[in-house]
């Protein structure tokens, strides 16, 4: 699939060049989290905004977020305080959590995390928790979401491991219950897809499981976060749908999008390799342009392998990937 032009790639390299110092600095000493990063990153992001084109922005800067799973190595080693300082300096405005612990740094309470968010001008926009967390302690999970000030709370788990129609119908009923409880607290409950949700039912090869879940969950109580990368992997493995059509069918069900890029690789059974944003082949300009109303949803960058996979010309460093990916997302303009 041809989805980013050579001109786009040259633009990526030009923009990313401004963040070389950031990648080097974070490799040399990630604990030096503050002012040096801010002085380099903020001008770079603004340069991207003014040089990338005159079309309307596709992801407003106030709605560019990061899934902390992308930089889980930094959260674990440096803690939320230093991580939030760096992300704020890069330009990120929103945070999606992948747990509330900071491992080596020591315990921290939701109230303390909220204070660190506020101190750095960041907003919590969502959180990935396991289905078991909601089954076993639903009200506590909703308490934490409210303490952190987030509007959305959800899971990146598949609705169920039972890939039959009956299994997905039962999962839809369970999610409707989660959604009702969240709605009662002023929250939106959401599910984040991987590729498996787009497979076909084991007991009916004509039925796509995602359709069962989509059609049998209450759209007023169960929301969806499309991980665009995994949706395209799902299309590659289980053809017969266009990812963007699900969002267009009911845009209000998709308040969150995961902006994860993929590079075409025929040797990968999924069709793509995960790469930092702007270095891949997924048609983000076309995808986002087809949706309209860019300010209605949150664009959240995620790269599962950011800590271990170096981008061409850069050392492996998840902060570097985060900085360059922010610049690329900020530069997207309507086609």
pLDDT of res. 5: 33
According to DSSP, the β-strands at 256-259 and 222-227 are: parallel
How deeply is 31 buried, as exposed, middle or buried, from its count of CB atoms within 10 A (0-12, 13-18, 19+)?
exposed
- ∠ at Cα 75 (72, 76), nearest 5°? 85
- The series of mean pLDDT values per 10 residues for the chain, 335 residues long, is 35 36 35 34 42 74 97 98 98 98 94 98 98 98 98 98 98 98 98 98 98 98 98 98 97 97 98 97 97 81 96 95 98 91
- Under 8 Å between Cβ of 223 and 258: no
In 153-294, which ranges are continuous DSSP H helix?
A: 165-184, 209-216, 228-237, 243-249, 284-289
In total, the chain counts a number of residues equal to 335
- Contact (CB, 8 A) for 328 and 277: yes
Which two three-digit tokens encode residue 229? Answer: 């990368």
User: What is the reported pLDDT for 166?
Assistant: 98
Q: Contacts from 4-10 at CB under 8 Å and sequence distance 24+? A: 4/278, 4/280, 4/281, 4/282, 4/283, 8/278, 8/285, 9/279
For the beta carbon of residue 60, count every other beta carbon within 10 angstroms.
16
State residue 232 phi and psi, 5-degree precision.
-70, -35
What predicted TM-score, i.e. pTM, was given to this entire model?
0.85
| Cα 317 to Cα 74: distance, rounded to the nearest angstrom | 9
CA distance 96 to 302: 10
Helical packing angle, 110-119 and 80-90, nearest 10°: 30
Query: What's the token pair of residue 106?
Result: 């020591």
Count CB atoms within 10 A of the CB of residue 262. Answer: 24
* CA separation for the pair 106, 129 (Å, rounded): 20
């Amino acid at each position: 699939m041809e989805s980013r032009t050579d001109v786009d790639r040259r633009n990526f390299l030009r923009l990313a060049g401004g963040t070389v110092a950031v990648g080097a600095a974070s490799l040399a000493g990630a604990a030096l989290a503050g002012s040096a990063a801010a002085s380099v990153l903020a001008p770079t992001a603004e340069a991207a905004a003014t040089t990338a084109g005159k079309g309307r922005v596709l992801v407003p800067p106030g709605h560019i977020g990061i899934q902390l799973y992308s930089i889980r190595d930094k959260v674990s080693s440096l803690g939320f305080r230093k991580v939030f300082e760096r992300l704020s300096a890069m330009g990120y405005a929103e945070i999606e959590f992948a747990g509330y612990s900071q491992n080596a740094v020591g315990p921290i309470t939701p109230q303390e995390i909220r204070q660190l968010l506020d101190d750095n001008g960041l907003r919590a926009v969502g959180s990935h928790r396991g289905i078991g967390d909601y089954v076993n302690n639903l009200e506590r999970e909703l308490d934490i979401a409210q303490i952190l000030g987030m509007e959305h709370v959800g899971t990146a788990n598949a609705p169920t491991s039972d890939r039959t129609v009956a299994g997905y119908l039962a999962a839809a009923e369970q999610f409707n219950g989660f959604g009702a409880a969240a709605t009662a607290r002023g929250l939106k409950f959401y599910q984040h897809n991987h590729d498996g949700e787009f497979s076909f039912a084991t007991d009916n090869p004509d039925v796509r499981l995602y359709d069962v879940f989509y059609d049998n969950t209450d759209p007023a109580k169960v929301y969806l976060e499309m991980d665009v990368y995994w949706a395209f992997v799902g299309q590659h493995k289980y053809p017969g749908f266009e990812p963007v059509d699900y969002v267009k069918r009911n845009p209000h069900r998709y308040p969150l999008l995961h902006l994860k890029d993929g590079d075409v690789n025929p040797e990968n059974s999924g069709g793509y390799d995960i790469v930092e944003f702007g270095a891949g082949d997924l048609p983000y300009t076309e995808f986002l342009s087809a949706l309209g109303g860019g300010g209605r949803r949150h664009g959240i960058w995620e790269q599962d392998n950011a800590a271990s996979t170096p981008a061409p010309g850069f050392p492996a460093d998840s902060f570097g990937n985060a900085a360059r990916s922010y610049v690329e997302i900020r530069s997207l303009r309507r086609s």
